[in-house]
Amino acid sequence: MKNIHIEKVAIVGIGLIGGSIAMAMRKHLGSKVTILGLSSTSKKAQIAHKHNIIDRALTSLKDIPQDIDLVVLSTPIVTNIKLLKSLKKLTTSKQIIIDVGSTKEMICREAVKLDLRNFIGTHPMAGNETSGLGNADPDLFQNKPWIICPDSQTDKSKITFLKNFITSLGAKPFILNSKAHDRIAALSSHIFLIMSSILVNATSKNNWDKISQIASTGFKDTTRLASHSPNMKKEIILTNKMNIQKALKSLSAEIELFSSLLKDDEENKIMNYFQQAKSVRDDWLNKYSINT
């Protein structure tokens, strides 16, 4: 792990991700970093302070000190976007602002519009179906990809700083532009949020009283993401709508293809279809199981 010079960090939003970042910093960077926290409810910030997750609770963005090194936006996506305008007035070009939301193009575009050159969009590809500070985990980012989305105007020294910061928390930094990020995230992450909800809703409309009594690990594992925050999913979908629509079209085509195989009793082709999916997933697990 490379040495990183960082003394003071403000985390805006102390839920699952914000809280996990604070805990990971505490674990890996120790007491040399002062962690400040701001939450939508003062009670949550006080709880974080009581449990030594943060060093001090802030009451507003205006409380962020001028000697801050890094501001982490970990509120809902649309809220993060709205906060940029205020942070434009409260930070200097020497400080770094990042967000950790699941979509990047919209917030990065807003930062360019505001000429907020010290903002860099990021996305830790980590999390689970839970939410809230109570589920925060210092090891949440361990060996997980953490995407950095700079633009052509981003100071290279800031990118290097972020790479070192992310590595220090146990994650693996990757560079993507915001458009590529949202296109890939739609296929690798966002569509599964939708699919899990579709599966639950479709199943629950077919004799659910009986099904719910015998549904077991297959149902539980496949529908895990349906327990994600509905508001979070809504914001992800609405801020990446075009890419998700394309992903849904691709999914629909696969459903039609498989339906035709069933209709025509194509036994060998059905076997090959399952074998192809197994091979792709097994190969992915063998290469990247450290990320799962």
Average confidence score pLDDT of the chain: 95
Q: Quick check: 290 pLDDT over 80?
A: no
Bridge-partner residues for 130, per DSSP?
A: none
- 208 and 257, same domain (yes or no): yes
- The model's pTM is 0.93
Let me know if residue 1 belongs to a domain: no
Let me know if residue 35 belongs to a domain: yes
Instruction: Look at residue 157 in the predicted model and tell me its pLDDT.
Output: 95
Number of domains the chain is built from? 2
Instruction: Decide: 11 and 54 in contact? Cβ < 8 Å.
Output: yes
- 135 and 218, same domain (yes or no): no
Alpha-helical segments (H) within 40-177: 42-50, 77-90, 105-113, 156-168
List all residues 6 or more positions away from 242 whose beta carbon is below 8 Å from its beta carbon: none
Give how far Cα 220 sits from Cα of 75, 89, 129, 169, 262, Å. Answer: 28, 47, 12, 30, 26
Tell me: the pLDDT tens digits for 199-240? 999 999 999 999 999 999 999 999 999 999 999 999 999 999
- 123 and 106, same domain (yes or no): yes
Assign residue 228 the CATH number of its domain: 1.10.3660.10
- 144 and 197, same domain (yes or no): no
Tell me: the pLDDT tens digits for 146-191? 999 999 999 999 999 999 999 999 999 999 999 999 999 999 999 9
- 47 and 100, same domain (yes or no): yes
Q: Quick check: 278 pLDDT over 60?
A: yes
Instruction: Decide: 65 and 139 in contact? Cβ < 8 Å.
Output: no
Instruction: Look at residue 291 in the predicted model and tell me its pLDDT.
Output: 55
Q: Quick check: 1 pLDDT over 70?
A: no
Task: Please state, in angstroms and rounded to a whole number, the distance separating the CA atoms of residues 127 and 21.
Answer: 11
Tokens in use for 271? 């076997």
Nearest Cα residue to 80 out of 58, 57, 60, 110: 110
Let me know if residue 161 belongs to a domain: yes
Assign residue 87 the CATH number of its domain: 3.40.50.720
Q: Which domain holds residue 64?
A: 8-177
- 83 and 129, same domain (yes or no): yes
Tell me: the pLDDT tens digits for 247-258? 999 999 999 999
62 exposure class (CB count in 10 Å sphere: 0-12, 13-18, 19+): exposed
Instruction: Look at residue 128 in the predicted model and tell me its pLDDT.
Output: 82
- 142 and 163, same domain (yes or no): yes
Let me know if residue 99 belongs to a domain: yes
